[in-house]
Structure 1
Amino acid sequence: MMKVHLPFFSITSLFWCVFISIFLVNTLVSLPFPLPHQIEILLAFKKEFPSPTCSHTVLSSWTRNTHSFDGVVFDNETGVVTELHLSEACLEGTIKNNSNLFKFHHLRYLDLSYNHFENYSFPFEFGILSNLEFLNFRYSGLVGEVPSSIRNLSRLTFFDLSQNELTCGFPLIYNLTKLSYLDLSYNNFIGTIPSSLLTMPSLLNLDLRQNGLRDPPENLNSSSSSRLERIYLGRNLFSGRILEPISKLVKLTSLDLSFLNMIYPINIVFSPLKSLEYLDLSGNSLSRHNTSSDHALPKLTELTLSNCNIFEFPKFIMTLQSLEYLDLSWNNLLRLNTSSGQALPTLIRLYLSNCYIVEFPKISKILPNLQHLDLSNNRLKGKVPAWLWNLPLTRVSLSHNSLVDFEGSPEALVNSSLEMLDLSTNAFGGPLPTLPPTIDYVVASNNNFTGELPLSLCIPRKLSFLDLSQNSFTGPIPQCLGGSINGVMNLRHNNLNGKLPDVICRSGSLTTIAVSFNLITGKLPRSLANCTRLKFLDVRGNNITDTFPFWLNALPLLQVVLLSSNRFYGSVSSPQHTLPFSKLQLLDISHNNFNGSLPSNYFVSWSTSLVNNILEDYRQGENRRDQFRFHHSLSSRYEGRDMRFGNFLMYLIGFDFSGNRFEGQIPESIGLLKWLIFLNLSNNGFTGHIPSSMGNLSNLESLDISRNQLSGTIPQELAKLFFLGYLNMSYNKLTGQIPQGTHLNTFDRLSYEGNTNLCGSPLNKSCQEKNGATSPQTQQLKPPKQGHVLNSKAATIGYGPTLMMFGLGIGHAVALDRTTWFIKLLGF
């Protein structure tokens, strides 16, 4: 019989082919390939909302030609949608009762938080999604009652309806037996807390802060069935009776009873709560304490008693041998009497700001391991004691006192463990003390420090925040300093001279450079182009001589450029730079020597990028700049609905080109900047007509085109600027009648004076001609001082992002110095 011999390499090849085939089959089968009808539902759901106004949203990837659906999770085996992660997805409008969303019957996870369903009632149909385990509607514009159908979501473990406008009593959630996390805070719920809510079998976290709850739970006879570990009831309308039922929840580890305005004295020793680790009683009256227990709250690590009308150091605190965090801010302590002889070896964070304290508390022996100390906003005078630096302190705030010096040598701080130090708004003088190499964050603004900036500032391991503004420092900025800071450098309002450091942003991580109002000369260092994280550049009020810095266009995050009151010169337009500063939101080049004309398309390149960036930042609510805050309770105390949009730096849009030598016509393309709030083109040589396209600047609040050579009539389109609170068209060559019966008539006559042939209200000159004669012209007034014109009735501030940008109108402060006032709003 013939034997067949297969080559060894053929057998090996066959083996690998079979192995790879099996692997590919298994891999392909396990891929979460979405079912076609699920894609159709997703696309139909997307169409239910208007086209998103923000530039980036997860729904942008939802197209028929792709299998990549951002924010969507498909089941690996069935291909159905099981999760929708749509937080901050730029969804606006409403989810209708027949929405395609309710066709996702296998949905387990749904996050619709931080969208904009304005005045949107919670639809009954959500009860259809009975497989939901996670549902988040935080800050989404919900109003009205929670529908009874919510009780059908029996598999829910996480439920967040916080920061909406929901009303009435508690939703019917008692049969949600698997629920472990429930957040109904910052709504308008009223009435009584049902006792059944506190004894739900799986509930661990309950947040009911900032509602209208008045009555404590009734008939809570036993807590054996309660698993609650964290309960937050602050900022409601409870009386002191809330303490009794809460004390029965013996498994509590965190309890917030802040700002309840209780009418009964609070028994601060909750003897049954042996597991309590966090307690917030701030904003209540603790003028009388029960201190009958020698071992109160043995596991308590965090205690907040701020704003409690306390006049002396509560003695029971000395019995809290596990305490790590203590906040007694906003009380009336005057002196901190802790002479009991006991120590608190575990306390590492102590906050005593705004307590009227007149002398340094002697805490070195009582708090041997203290790391964070806040004594800001008190009445401390004299010198900072030397023993303070013997403690293992890493964060110290002594701001807003009347301190003048440090005990001991200037080297007293060198051997400390300081990472953050705030000495701002005191009366310190002389040279800045030598700081330890561990320092990361230094604020010494608003003092009388003198001398040159010490080279020791370059020694630390990269400062993240340096604020020495409003002092009397002299000499040049050390060359090493430009490469030694990773975040903010604020040196404004000193007497610094010389040039800016040649090498700056060596690591590319400076976010803010503020050196305004010094004596700096030379040019802007070209190494600024390395500052890829730079957002804020302020060199106002110096003697810098340079051309317009087109080369800064490469910085991807630059939002604020302030060049005013220097010696910049030349043109501000260039054919080589058609898209200047794609993120720019505030540009001040006033009071320089810029000249030439602005091309007709000058503002075209800015329009699209500005709108996209503004709306993107509006959605995200980025933080304007780091704050020197190590008071960790701030995040919970002020996490109300308005805090996300407290950052108007990201939304403010303004241009100040005043006080230069520009000529030619104002480009019609200015009308494309529909988000513009502040525009100043005054004191130039602009000619031609006022562009009618300015009527498209629907968010404009301040307009100054005075002291130019503008001619022709005032466009009727400008009457549409309903939010305009400041207007100055004076000293031009305008003619004809001021548009009557419009908002433009509500301004003072000073807004229009100096235009010989202009007539109509509010001017005294009538436009009616009789027998070929016009009414007498009003007497020519002397040229006013800069910034004289104000609307007598400040315009009502706008809607949407405009309201978030300011939250206030253009007032008298704008009249005094408009641009400076806007800059002050930014914190610089």
Structure 2
Amino acid sequence: MIGSNYSFFLRAIVLLLFSISNFVSTFASLTPGLCHPDQRDVLLQLKTEFKIRKPDDEFHDRYGYLMNVTSYPKTESWVNSSTDCCNWDGVTCNTESGKVIGLDLSCSCLYGRLEPNSSLFRLKHLTSLNLAFNNFTFSPIPDKFNNLILLETLNLSGSSLKGHIPKEILQLTSLVSLDLSFYVSIYSPPSSLLLSIENPPLFLHQLAQNLRNLRALDLSCVNISSEIPHEFSYMPSLRSLHLASCYLVGEFPSNVFMIPSLQSIILDHNPDLRGSLPVFHRNNSMQVLRLRETSFSGIIPDSIGNLKHLVYLRLAISNFSGRIPSSLGELSNLSSLRLYQNHFTGELPSSIGNLKQLISFNVGGNQLTGNFPSALLNLTKLRNIYLYSNQFTGFLPPNIGQLSKLEVLYAYGNCFTGAVPSSLLQISSLTTLELDDYQLSDLVGFENVSLFSNLQVLSFQSNNFRVGSPVDLNVFSSEYCYIFWASLFQQQTSLQILIFHQISRICPCQTATSLSFLSS
């Protein structure tokens, strides 16, 4: 009897302890763990290592902060008090251990050198670190990042770091995202890039070998000055590869385009980088393909139509040639198509009329022929059309005014004939209109130029323009109004010839207040 009571008592104790354990575990999972004192001390020490200085316009202009970022000093919320440091701005803690696992100090107005002995490298539990868009006063990237061996995300972009990228970063084998970019110019690389790679072939080879989990790599505006090794084709997790303005050379391995998970590849502004587009398979995820200002050549393959997810295609200022394939019309998600300054020939395929999401269309500077591509009139979302410097002929379509969202039209340097359609002059959203063409004639309705409330750039050049009544240029009173009016005159030699060269920055128009044309 005593043994039975004792056994019952033991079972009751075990059940009670189990219940208490479950309660504590449940409570701990619902309550964020408090930041450990040692973690708080490290953060407070890190705060003292930098001054707070908001970036001024001069710094942005000199060092190229082209992105519209808003900075505020996150570390000002870091105070030595009883508040949980896991709730400080930019700090993320593990809810069970209380260890700091995430630090986002991007755009935090940090100013000063990032030193190798920084307390940052004592936060050994970090899995995510973002120090983008601060000013580390051109200090080198410390070689101590291998202390943060658990890092999965590292972003040091746009923070004025200078010198060689330390090879110790390649020891961070858990990295999923690495961003060391510094965008100085959207058009071309600067004469002297801040970051560079020592022994690029070895570094890139080890990067491809070691960082097998990498999904996003951005080294834009890092001086690489090397070929891209074929090992980059064997990075199975890669989703974005951004290597703009890196002074890349040699032949780009085309198999990189075939990585099934790849969504974005940007190789802009590498004029010595050669390559060609592969035959694309259907099992791809490509959304962005940008090869502006490279030495890529060859044709656009018909298989481009397999890139069903493609949103942005820019193959500009390169050496592509041949006809533009009709399979482009299968890219139903495409919003931007830029093929300018290549060697494309033939007529534009009518299938481009299927690109209902298209906003920007640029085929300027090729050898395209045929009439104005009327298929564009089906694309009601179009804001920009660039047809300049081709061999288009025929009339501008009279119903071009149905493109009610059109903001920019560059059609100069072709062989268009006939009158400028009055419907074009009724698109109130137009900001830029360039129709320089010696074959165009009457400007019907142009005397109602006051309807152009948003017009900033207007350029005509013709021997045949005729307007029946005076045109009041005082309507162009915007601070940013630029009017370029070259050799605008009526053809009859018995009438006065009016020539206006580059009337620029008129606020309001002071050079000429009206243009009067006499009808014959």
Which TM-score tier does this pair reach, normalised by the shorter chain?
A: 0.5 to 0.7
Gaps of 5+ in 2: 1-22, 56-71, 183-193, 462-466, 486-504, 514-520
The 3-state SS of whatever aligns with 1:127 is: helix
CA radius of gyration, larger in = 1
Letter in 1 for 2:142: P
Give the Cα–Cα distance (whole angstroms) in 2 for the partners of residues 214 and 377 of structure 1. 35
Work out which of the residue numbers 40, 49, 57 in structure 1 matches 2:73. 57
Tell me the CA shift for residue 343 of structure 1: 5.9
Tell me the CA shift for residue 101 of structure 1: 0.7
Work out whether residues 156 and 176 of structure 1, in 8 Å CA contact, stay in contact via their aligned partners in 2.
yes
Matched, 1:113 2:113: no
Give the Cα–Cα distance (whole angstroms) in 2 for the partners of residues 57 and 222 of structure 1. 40
Who is 2:496 aligned against?
none
Tell me the CA shift for residue 316 of structure 1: 3.9
Tell me the CA shift for residue 235 of structure 1: 1.4
Who is 1:166 aligned against?
196
Give the Cα–Cα distance (whole angstroms) in 1 for the partners of residues 196 and 122 of structure 2. 25
TM-score (normalizing by structure 1) = 0.43
Letter in 2 for 1:40: D
Q: Within 5 Å, which residues of 2 pair with 1:20-419?
A: 30-31=31-32, 33-49=34-50, 51-54=51-54, 57-65=73-81, 67=83, 69-163=88-182, 164-168=194-198, 169=200, 170-171=203-204, 172-174=206-208, 175-218=210-253, 220=255, 223=258, 226-238=260-272, 240-244=274-278, 250-262=284-296, 264=297, 266-271=298-303, 274-275=306-307, 276-286=310-320, 288-290=321-323, 293-296=325-328, 298-299=330-331, 301=334, 302-308=336-342, 314-323=346-355, 324-328=358-362, 331=365, 337-338=370-371, 345-346=378-379, 348-352=382-386, 355=389, 362-364=396-398, 369=403, 371-375=405-409, 378=412, 385-388=421-424, 394-398=429-433, 407-408=444-445
Letter in 1 for 2:277: L
Give the Cα–Cα distance (whole angstroms) in 2 for the partners of residues 244 and 32 of structure 1. 52
The 3-state SS of whatever aligns with 1:295 is: helix
- Relative distance call for 1:285 and 1:373 in structure 2 (3 A) is farther
Tell me the CA shift for residue 161 of structure 1: 0.8
Work out whether residues 133 and 156 of structure 1, in 8 Å CA contact, stay in contact via their aligned partners in 2.
yes
Give the Cα–Cα distance (whole angstroms) in 2 for the partners of residues 219 and 238 of structure 1. 16
Tell me the CA shift for residue 75 of structure 1: 3.4
Give the Cα–Cα distance (whole angstroms) in 2 for the partners of residues 443 and 221 of structure 1. 44
- Relative distance call for 1:420 and 1:154 in structure 2 (3 A) is farther
Letter in 2 for 1:346: L
Give the Cα–Cα distance (whole angstroms) in 1 for the partners of residues 419 and 409 of structure 2. 14
Tell me the CA shift for residue 278 of structure 1: 2.5
The 3-state SS of whatever aligns with 1:243 is: coil
Tell me the CA shift for residue 240 of structure 1: 4.3
Work out whether residues 204 and 227 of structure 1, in 8 Å CA contact, stay in contact via their aligned partners in 2.
yes
CA-to-aligned-CA distance 1:125-146 (integer Å, 9 cap, x gap): 2122233232111122333443
CA-to-aligned-CA distance 1:465-518 (integer Å, 9 cap, x gap): xx9723269xxxxxxxxxxxxxxxxxxx99xxxxxxxxxxxxxxxxxxxxxxxx
Letter in 1 for 2:247: G
- Relative distance call for 1:340 and 1:113 in structure 2 (3 A) is closer
- Relative distance call for 1:148 and 1:378 in structure 2 (3 A) is same
Give the Cα–Cα distance (whole angstroms) in 2 for the partners of residues 221 and 26 of structure 1. 49
Question: Between Structure 1 and Structure 2, which shows a larger proportion of helix residues?
Answer: 2
Tell me the CA shift for residue 31 of structure 1: 4.5
Work out whether residues 218 and 243 of structure 2, in 8 Å CA contact, stay in contact via their aligned partners in 1.
yes
Who is 2:191 aligned against?
none
Tell me the CA shift for residue 400 of structure 1: 9.3
Work out whether residues 445 and 470 of structure 1, in 8 Å CA contact, stay in contact via their aligned partners in 2.
no
Letter in 1 for 2:196: L
Matched, 1:430 2:471: yes
Tell me the CA shift for residue 94 of structure 1: 3.0
Higher relative CO (Cα under 8 Å, sequence separation at least 6) belongs to: 2
The 3-state SS of whatever aligns with 2:81 is: coil
Give the Cα–Cα distance (whole angstroms) in 2 for the partners of residues 413 and 135 of structure 1. 53
Give the Cα–Cα distance (whole angstroms) in 1 for the partners of residues 256 and 76 of structure 2. 54
Work out whether residues 302 and 327 of structure 2, in 8 Å CA contact, stay in contact via their aligned partners in 1.
no
Tell me the CA shift for residue 250 of structure 1: 4.8
Give the Cα–Cα distance (whole angstroms) in 1 for the partners of residues 153 and 139 of structure 2. 20
- Relative distance call for 1:321 and 1:400 in structure 2 (3 A) is closer
Work out whether residues 425 and 444 of structure 1, in 8 Å CA contact, stay in contact via their aligned partners in 2.
no
Give the Cα–Cα distance (whole angstroms) in 2 for the partners of residues 447 and 73 of structure 1. 55
Give the Cα–Cα distance (whole angstroms) in 1 for the partners of residues 154 and 88 of structure 2. 20
Letter in 2 for 1:258: R
Give the Cα–Cα distance (whole angstroms) in 2 for the partners of residues 331 and 115 of structure 1. 40
CA RMSD after TM alignment: 4.7
- Relative distance call for 1:341 and 1:166 in structure 2 (3 A) is closer
- Relative distance call for 1:227 and 1:43 in structure 2 (3 A) is same
- Relative distance call for 1:27 and 1:245 in structure 2 (3 A) is same
CA-to-aligned-CA distance 1:199-232 (integer Å, 9 cap, x gap): 4222111111111211235594994x53112111
Tell me the CA shift for residue 270 of structure 1: 4.8
- Relative distance call for 1:246 and 1:350 in structure 2 (3 A) is same
Give the Cα–Cα distance (whole angstroms) in 2 for the partners of residues 410 and 356 of structure 1. 29
Give the Cα–Cα distance (whole angstroms) in 1 for the partners of residues 371 and 328 of structure 2. 18
Counting matched residue pairs gives: 417
Who is 1:636 aligned against?
none
Work out whether residues 108 and 134 of structure 1, in 8 Å CA contact, stay in contact via their aligned partners in 2.
yes
CA-to-aligned-CA distance 1:225-257 (integer Å, 9 cap, x gap): 531121111211445434348889954332111
Who is 1:692 aligned against?
none
Who is 1:469 aligned against?
507
Percent identical residues: 23
Give the Cα–Cα distance (whole angstroms) in 2 for the partners of residues 148 and 133 of structure 1. 17
The 3-state SS of whatever aligns with 1:46 is: helix
Give the Cα–Cα distance (whole angstroms) in 2 for the partners of residues 211 and 88 of structure 1. 24
Give the Cα–Cα distance (whole angstroms) in 2 for the partners of residues 238 and 409 of structure 1. 47
Give the Cα–Cα distance (whole angstroms) in 2 for the partners of residues 27 and 60 of structure 1. 29
Give the Cα–Cα distance (whole angstroms) in 1 for the partners of residues 222 and 283 of structure 2. 24
Give the Cα–Cα distance (whole angstroms) in 1 for the partners of residues 280 and 303 of structure 2. 12
Give the Cα–Cα distance (whole angstroms) in 1 for the partners of residues 54 and 372 of structure 2. 60
Letter in 1 for 2:149: S
The 3-state SS of whatever aligns with 2:365 is: coil
Give the Cα–Cα distance (whole angstroms) in 2 for the partners of residues 360 and 432 of structure 1. 30
Give the Cα–Cα distance (whole angstroms) in 2 for the partners of residues 209 and 79 of structure 1. 40
- Relative distance call for 1:74 and 1:358 in structure 2 (3 A) is same
Give the Cα–Cα distance (whole angstroms) in 2 for the partners of residues 144 and 90 of structure 1. 22
Give the Cα–Cα distance (whole angstroms) in 2 for the partners of residues 83 and 91 of structure 1. 17
Tell me the CA shift for residue 357 of structure 1: 9.6
Letter in 1 for 2:47: K
TM-score (normalizing by structure 2) = 0.65
The 3-state SS of whatever aligns with 1:124 is: coil
Give the Cα–Cα distance (whole angstroms) in 2 for the partners of residues 203 and 72 of structure 1. 28
The 3-state SS of whatever aligns with 2:103 is: strand
Tell me the CA shift for residue 188 of structure 1: 0.7
Tell me the CA shift for residue 100 of structure 1: 1.0
The 3-state SS of whatever aligns with 1:135 is: strand
Letter in 2 for 1:44: Q
Who is 1:688 aligned against?
none
Give the Cα–Cα distance (whole angstroms) in 2 for the partners of residues 142 and 472 of structure 1. 48
Give the Cα–Cα distance (whole angstroms) in 1 for the partners of residues 354 and 323 of structure 2. 19
Letter in 2 for 1:81: V
The 3-state SS of whatever aligns with 1:271 is: helix
Tell me the CA shift for residue 108 of structure 1: 2.3
Give the Cα–Cα distance (whole angstroms) in 2 for the partners of residues 364 and 431 of structure 1. 25
